[in-house]
Structure 1
């Protein structure tokens, strides 16, 4: 086990009491810094105790779940990327059945944040450890009910952000002045008078990554389903995964 903590402090409290009825008060407090160095040897009894648990965890994390046909990265496109498309598609595929069962409604589209993608997915076999690497945070999937006007603010943010925030179930086209030439959501033209159900994560709903537009919402449904777990379940469901930069969000030069 690699120890990254460089030191810790032991606090020793010495209590003197002259009578059982007296209130106990600290008489002296001593602090001592104990550096952790390579000279400290492994405690065999502890190592042996945790060994089977470590082996079980590694077996679960490293078991092959699916196969990815090419490297999925977060910087191979201007407005959408292979890694972002994968994550947004996984959230849509896994969250929509849950949301429909609970509410009778369907998710219209997905918006996540580019900064939430923490690793590439290399070509080849993928497993649960891969999911932990790309999404190490404990963020849950939530579905936000939003008016068309609020969604318009969301779309304006995406246009001006300059980052490839992951989206799914959209066809968005910008000109070189950041004006929308096309907006399609869930296979239909955008209607500002319509209510939309947007899947995202709880961090963004709280305003993370400057996404303050989510505060203008009618309701929020927490699916109690981690984004990372949706990726793992998506891996399990898909024998082979092939994702690339596409036309879900593009900008003309």
Structure 2
């Protein structure tokens, strides 16, 4: 495979009072053939321990799956697995129960394979260093949040069962037994990307409370899958009907 390095030559002339300005630009393309280029033995030797450590970490088998675990809309096995994982791990790290969890559908970048699920597999699913945030929202704000993602973004939730009609929330029941009431408050575990206004969620900056947890969402998922693996039972992809459309 050839790569190219672009070298720019700039001709700079000085004006009397206005400083420097660009008067000419030329470019030369130099081909670099990675197949023909010789490797540097000393550099390879220096990098080898780091390469071995990285391979060992990324190839660690956390658990196994009986089939591919895939994301889908309005609901998929991967959606459910990841949000359940986030809700469980977030509640443990937070130190008290959390009402629900959310992941943005576009941030789930890959599926999990059948067979061995490695640390590298989870990195493929969640490659970004997003931090866990717990937001406290009123019922009205949570409904706005759910409607926002139901209307074209993809609603990926844990800890709730939601019925949609015309891309709007019709009913919400929490697995902890609560119902969605306008003036009550609820806690949501989600990524700092969304809490910071990503995917056009600037309204979340008016949350009743924001608590930043020093825990990468990817690490929460890795910890959860590793715990599942320690049970000795493979993961079987399932959905539970938490997102339904009338």
**So what's the TM-score if we normalise by structure 2?**
0.82
Tell me which residue corresponds to 1:244. Answer: 238
Tell me which residue corresponds to 2:19. Answer: none
CA RMSD of aligned residues (A): 2.3
* 1:124 aligned to which of 112, 115, 120: 115
* 1:59 aligned to which of 56, 59, 72: 56
Please state if 1:81 is matched with 2:76.
yes
* 2:101 aligned to which of 83, 101, 110: 110
Q: Counterparts of 1:250 and 1:165 in 2: how far apart (Å)?
A: 11
Unaligned runs of 5+ in 2: 10-26
Instruction: Give the match's secondary structure for 1:188.
Output: coil
Q: How does 1:20-35 map to 2 (within 5 A)?
A: 34-35=30-31
Contact 1:6–1:35 at 8 Å: present in 2 too?
A: yes
Tell me which residue corresponds to 1:17. Answer: none
Q: Counterparts of 1:9 and 1:117 in 2: how far apart (Å)?
A: 37
Indicate the structure with greater strand content.
2
Q: Counterparts of 1:89 and 1:4 in 2: how far apart (Å)?
A: 44
Aligned length: 223
Q: Counterparts of 2:213 and 2:201 in 1: how far apart (Å)?
A: 20
Q: How does 1:176-187 map to 2 (within 5 A)?
A: 177-185=166-174, 186-187=176-177
Q: Counterparts of 1:167 and 1:135 in 2: how far apart (Å)?
A: 16
Assess, with a 3 A threshold, how the Cα gap between structure 1 residues 245 and 5 changes in structure 2: closer, same or farther.
Answer: farther
Contact 2:67–2:113 at 8 Å: present in 1 too?
A: yes
Tell me which residue corresponds to 1:14. Answer: none
Please state if 1:36 is matched with 2:26.
no
Q: Counterparts of 1:212 and 1:242 in 2: how far apart (Å)?
A: 37
Contact 1:84–1:165 at 8 Å: present in 2 too?
A: no
Please state if 1:150 is matched with 2:126.
no
Tell me which residue corresponds to 1:92. Answer: 87
Contact 2:2–2:32 at 8 Å: present in 1 too?
A: no
Contact 2:151–2:168 at 8 Å: present in 1 too?
A: no
Assess, with a 3 A threshold, how the Cα gap between structure 1 residues 246 and 129 changes in structure 2: closer, same or farther.
Answer: same
Q: CA deviation at 1:109?
A: 0.3
Tell me which residue corresponds to 1:197. Answer: 187
Q: CA deviation at 1:249?
A: 1.2
Assess, with a 3 A threshold, how the Cα gap between structure 1 residues 49 and 84 changes in structure 2: closer, same or farther.
Answer: same
Q: CA deviation at 1:9?
A: 5.0
**So what's the TM-score if we normalise by structure 1?**
0.80
